[in-house]
Structure 1
Amino acid sequence: MTRAVLSIGSNLGDRLGHLRSVVEALGERVIAVSPVYTTAPWGGVDQDDYLNAVVVAQDSDFDDYAWLRFGQQLEQASGRVREIRWGARTLDVDIVQCTDGTGTPIARDTDPDLILPHPQAHNRAFVLTPWLAVEPSAQLLVDGVTHPIADLLTELDQSEKDGVIRTDLVLRDESARSC
């Protein structure tokens, strides 16, 4: 069994619909869904603002590569095209962190297709802010040392944090879920 923290974002087409498609595809695997935030694009490419969120999920049949394939399939289904690094996209699904059945973070730094934890997550308020909203005590492995994500967020430049704005949008209707 693995547990994955997925950062999802979209700035093309039906942005909210693309994010909701991830939650719908995960179904019963979903443990938590963050609020939706609007953020300026990251990376210097001129484009529209993003909608971002974090989804925490687990699956007894998934390993870290299964989460990668799952995310890539959802990106392809949304029509994502990879033309420009940090460019606009219909859907981006990043594995921020993956833990094994004991809760130990899976660390990979030699496979260019899957580096875990995500190598830039600790520098991105659009990842840490939504994650903190659903898991206030979460920790992230950075350069071999575990840090509370609240501390990592505190260390970021204020302008980075100010650019992550909570919206009233939701990715799933909690009232529709059965108890």
Structure 2
Amino acid sequence: MTRLDRLELAGLRAFAHHGVYQHERETGQPFVIDVVVHLDLSTAGSADDLGATIHYGVLAEDIVHAVERDPVDLIETVAERVALVVLRHRAARLVDVTVHKPEAPIAVEFGDVRVSIQRQWTRAVVALGANLGDREAMIRQAVLAFAAHPSIRLVAASPIVETPALKPAGVDETAPAYLNAVVELETVLPPRALLAELHRVEAAHGRIRAEHWGDRTLDLDLIVYGRERIAEPSLVVPHPRAHERAFVLAPWAAMDEHAVLPGRGPVVDLLAEVIERTGERVDPYPAEPLA
């Protein structure tokens, strides 16, 4: 990431009713918030333009309001809430948040209790597919769900394409064909939380994980998450098979001709290799743009 400038708010004071104990919920206590916002201030500074930065008075009020609403058990949760409030300001790219609980109910003498977190907008690429029911509606509804999520921004969406169903033995012309698309997102959700959100959206649209190669009302795959490389039983990114799937590569290349699959290379080159090797068919689908 390019080195960014900093806007700092220190010692913001709020009174709220957070805590695991009943007396904390009833009587409340003070909380102190420190925030460091990382952003590009060059335009604001050179043009003397408030619109190119973040109005720190408005930001301070937003933070205090976020802290003082809806009691929760943990200051970790309060910190996440503050980070999201800050990152909703378009200029903010990364934020450090510290939440102090100076009157925490601790039986020994102490100076402070505080939690510090760092959150940022991270680019992610998600592939969408559906071959049951109203396929186009399923894909559109998933894209709308991403756009409506407070921790996700929809950056770009590919055209919809149609592809034959793939099974372990190869193309299955007897199965319903798939509609496929790819979207680019920005999110403050960590990768595992984003994957959980994808699964939630799938389930909301009737996805049943009964058969690994079975037909799907909606299939959402996390292809890329920033520069992260994760290899766990439940999550592997970059997606380990994206480089050999024309139904991912074709819409992705149509959305961004300069896209690169980390560790594999330019998407347009990968697509050409797959089509040459397999002859896999990717057909245009007549539909209005997804975004």
TM-score normalized with structure 1 length: 0.84
Residue 72, structure 1, aligned to residue 199, structure 2: yes
RMSD: 1.7
Residue 133, structure 1, aligned to residue 261, structure 2: no
Q: Which residue of 1 aligns with 2:147?
A: 27
C-alpha separation between the residues in 2 aligned to 1:161 and 1:17?
Answer: 28
Q: Mapping of 1:94-133 within 5 angstroms?
A: 94-99=221-226, 105-109=227-231, 111-133=232-254
Aligned residues: 163
Q: 1:18 aligns with which of 138, 146, 156?
A: 138
Q: Mapping of 1:58-69 within 5 angstroms?
A: 58-59=186-187, 61-69=188-196
C-alpha separation between the residues in 2 aligned to 1:95 and 1:64?
Answer: 9
The 4+ residue runs of structure 1 with deviation greater than 6 A are none
Cα deviation, residue 146, structure 1: 4.5
- RCO higher in structure (CA 8 A, sep ≥6): 1
Cα deviation, residue 157, structure 1: 3.5
C-alpha separation between the residues in 2 aligned to 1:90 and 1:74?
Answer: 11
Cα deviation, residue 86, structure 1: 1.3
C-alpha separation between the residues in 1 aligned to 2:199 and 2:155?
Answer: 20
Q: Indicate the SS of the match to 1:122.
A: helix
The CA deviation string for residues 89-146 of structure 1, in whole angstroms up to 9 with x for no partner, is: 10000011110xxxxx21112x1111001110000000001000111111112xxx34
**Any gaps of 5 or more consecutive residues in structure 2?**
1-120
Q: Which residue of 2 aligns with 1:48?
A: 176
Q: Percent same amino acid at aligned positions?
A: 37
> Do the aligned residues in 2 keep the contact of 1:54 with 1:130 (CA within 8 Å)?
yes
Q: Indicate the SS of the match to 2:235.
A: coil
Greater share of residues in strand:
2
**Any gaps of 5 or more consecutive residues in structure 1?**
100-104, 175-179
Cα deviation, residue 15, structure 1: 0.7
Q: Indicate the SS of the match to 1:151.
A: helix
> Do the aligned residues in 2 keep the contact of 1:98 with 1:117 (CA within 8 Å)?
yes
Q: Which residue of 1 aligns with 2:210?
A: 83
